[in-house]
Amino acid sequence: MDRRTAVKNFALASGALITLPSWMVKLGLSEHPTFQSSFTSEEHEILAKICDTIIPAGNSVGAISVGVDKYLIKLIDDCYEPDMQSNVKKQLHALQSSGAANDGKTFTDLSPELRLQSLKKLSASTNKDELEFFKLIKSETIRGFTTSQKVMVNYLGYKTAPGHYYGSVNVKA
């Protein structure tokens, strides 16, 4: 192959790579893949309120600010069997409608204190499905929160590479 053809092909390939991000934007593709969840937006909102009730923001970060609700949705969709997924969705809807006993408000419309009372009732339930749901959501909310980057680095002092590497150190022999 002659040099002129090689330079021309290289220039074309470079131009294509440079304009690729703009093509992706125009086509509606983004740099971050989107996750198609089996949860509806209402179920996501209920789950977010549960996470916010378990670990509220207060003076520091809370469960919602570190994305625990998104973590739970992805976790339940990808890692649990369909029967557990259907139980979670069933319990979310039951919890949403159980809030109606409080002046006709749904769970998501309740104050944080009333949401906490609803979750305490759920934790003391004798129904196996309700108790299983509560234990799953509570434990995974805590796990998602404590293993998030913001909490690990900013509050727990986690260092990705502890210590320091000193190369080229003189060694006395």
Reading the chain (173 residues) residue by residue, the pLDDT tens digits are 688 888 888 787 777 777 766 656 665 544 454 667 889 999 999 999 999 999 999 888 999 999 999 999 999 999 999 999 999 999 999 999 886 566 778 889 999 999 999 999 999 999 999 999 999 999 999 999 999 999 988 888 887 776 777 778 788 87
How many angstroms separate the CA atoms of 133 and 49, rounded? 15
Task: Say which residues have a Cβ less than 8 Å from residue 169's Cβ, sequence separation at least 6.
Answer: none
Residue 105 identity (one-letter amino acid): K
pLDDT score at 76: 95
